[in-house]
Structure 1
């Protein structure tokens, strides 16, 4: 089996002729499942470890838009230049902006480092969907047809851009190979369906690692030779809008990152605990949390972590910090529980 090569409008627009692409299309989202689906009605892509980005080209202007519609074009000039060479006068693309390790595997930590250090010239935009092309809205076409049209546009190599290849059927084996290559997991999509903004269960993700986003609700004082921050206190929202404690992340941060986080968190500090209820002082795993050494913050900062598992008392175990996410609002960070896998 061959894996693919690594390398303000909220409704789905219909097929038809329009003068220019929409200013923004709400992204289609993925639902977490335990295993990739098996049927031939699904196509499978690599789960890229980066920032979800839409690219809009119209009237000679190129824009990079976040999942919430923010214009981040000024941050990624090299990617904007690459999109200027895209062989379409007017188009709207969906993709993921990534930084690659030397072995070609995307790594979110490298993406954040590139942004912090102003080294964004080596980033790659992996393009996986085509929602508009030269006067025609394509979003209501079946995904497999959209991808065929998109692939034709990558007949010639475009430095800084790559087409996201796919495999049809046999999702579990695709995911297994992705995991063996050190990738984050697989994205499986119904091949016959139109683009459907939001979470409809038509796109699902199956991960190799337990990796999620959480809201920072505070930090603890450092101990010993550690500087700036001891550990980050993490939380997540429930559907009723309550903010719950999830545990601590104390590893995975360099001295430079600890210093940067301390600078970012300082103006967010507050005397009021933002959680709906106090965190447990004791747990079966880890040292007790001493609330007297906690600095609470307004819940605005979102970070990504890896972890071993959830404990019976709903706390994260063996947590490692991966980086800060600026592309996702804190209110959208909810605990993800795998759904049963649809194998049709």
Structure 2
């Protein structure tokens, strides 16, 4: 079981790595089967690494940016863990009342400064109290991680898993309305950047959104940046859902810009509008 290192032990404790490139996933149509694979829920949030070095706690993005200042409640929750040093891998999420993670809720929480209720689902342990655990088999890393998270801490959750029965696990995840499944080789060490040992299989969900605005283009992108989306609630009001900008061809960007430009307005159609970091235009 994990313990907090005493003062007499501190001299022997090495610092955790400054940043570790995340292990990545490859998309498959179906979750793999067999006893060598373990399966986790595919969370719909931000991939985050947590680096704990005594009182110095940092939340790092998948490219190594320090986002600790954005999620102070998560930093405080990590400070309560019984470790002196650690390096954790997980997903920072907003959770709906039914327990399903929601990326649109996460974006809304960030835009409105309501990050205190976010949950950090931790699913891997790469360093613990001076020891490099990334070289251990995943199943052993998760056992040590579960011990670290054995005491319930608001804002932190252990990323649970099942071993084997991948297709059945994914089928059950889809029935519950989840995004899909992440399947990982249980007997392998952590492999930064690798896409072969971890795979994802998504559930095919469909949702309709209303375009309520757009951002200005940046860099070499022409015409428009991202589209701002909203959805109708049960009460009939529009609520901001997030933004989307990838996968649009230059020809489509030009066509969208031509159609959206005449619809500009000075008021936002959606309830609780976003606070984008870039300049944006609004549509009626």
More helix by percentage = 2
Secondary structure in 1 aligned to 2:199? Answer: strand
Deviations 1:114-148 (A, max 9, x none): 11111111100000000000000111110001001
Question: Do the aligned partners of 1:18 and 1:137 also contact (CA within 8 Å) in 2?
Answer: no
Matched residues in 2 for 1:172 and 1:142: separation?
Answer: 23
Check if 1:27 corresponds to 2:22. Answer: yes
Matched residues in 2 for 1:31 and 1:324: separation?
Answer: 33
From the superposition, tell whether residues 293 and 143 of structure 1 become closer, same or farther in structure 2 (CA, over 3 Å): same
Question: Do the aligned partners of 2:111 and 2:275 also contact (CA within 8 Å) in 1?
Answer: no
Q: Within 5 Å, give how 1:1-344 maps onto structure 2.
A: 19-209=14-204, 228=213, 252=230, 257=240, 278-279=251-252, 289=255, 292-293=258-259
Secondary structure in 2 aligned to 1:278? Answer: helix
Matched residues in 2 for 1:104 and 1:119: separation?
Answer: 18
Matched residues in 1 for 2:228 and 2:72: separation?
Answer: 34
Question: How far is 1:324 from its partner?
Answer: 11
Secondary structure in 2 aligned to 1:105? Answer: coil
Question: Do the aligned partners of 2:49 and 2:62 also contact (CA within 8 Å) in 1?
Answer: yes
1:341 is matched with which residue? none
Secondary structure in 2 aligned to 1:44? Answer: strand
* TM-score of the two chains, using structure 2 as the length reference: 0.74
From the superposition, tell whether residues 121 and 290 of structure 1 become closer, same or farther in structure 2 (CA, over 3 Å): closer
Question: Do the aligned partners of 2:93 and 2:121 also contact (CA within 8 Å) in 1?
Answer: yes
Question: Do the aligned partners of 1:188 and 1:203 also contact (CA within 8 Å) in 2?
Answer: yes
Question: Do the aligned partners of 2:212 and 2:230 also contact (CA within 8 Å) in 1?
Answer: no
From the superposition, tell whether residues 39 and 77 of structure 1 become closer, same or farther in structure 2 (CA, over 3 Å): same
Question: How far is 1:18 from its partner?
Answer: 6.6
Secondary structure in 2 aligned to 1:205? Answer: strand
Deviations 1:272-320 (A, max 9, x none): xx96x63499xxxxxxx4764467xxxxxxxxxxxxxxxxxxxxxxxxx
Matched residues in 2 for 1:252 and 1:203: separation?
Answer: 33
Matched residues in 2 for 1:280 and 1:108: separation?
Answer: 24
Structure 2: tracts of 5 or more residues without a match: 1-11, 233-237, 262-273, 278-284
Matched residues in 2 for 1:292 and 1:137: separation?
Answer: 55
Question: Do the aligned partners of 2:184 and 2:199 also contact (CA within 8 Å) in 1?
Answer: yes
Matched residues in 1 for 2:41 and 2:276: separation?
Answer: 20
From the superposition, tell whether residues 324 and 150 of structure 1 become closer, same or farther in structure 2 (CA, over 3 Å): farther
List, as ranges, runs of 4+ consecutive aligned residues in structure 1 with deviation greater than 6 Å: 323-326
Question: How far is 1:87 from its partner?
Answer: 1.2
Question: Do the aligned partners of 2:25 and 2:200 also contact (CA within 8 Å) in 1?
Answer: yes
Pairs aligned (count): 238
Q: Judge which range, 56-65 or 128-137, deviates more.
A: 56-65
Question: Do the aligned partners of 1:112 and 1:324 also contact (CA within 8 Å) in 2?
Answer: no
Question: How far is 1:209 from its partner?
Answer: 2.5
Matched residues in 2 for 1:24 and 1:202: separation?
Answer: 21
From the superposition, tell whether residues 193 and 76 of structure 1 become closer, same or farther in structure 2 (CA, over 3 Å): same
Question: How far is 1:86 from its partner?
Answer: 0.9
Structure 1: tracts of 5 or more residues without a match: 1-16, 212-221, 234-241, 266-273, 282-288, 296-322, 327-344
* TM-score of the two chains, using structure 1 as the length reference: 0.61
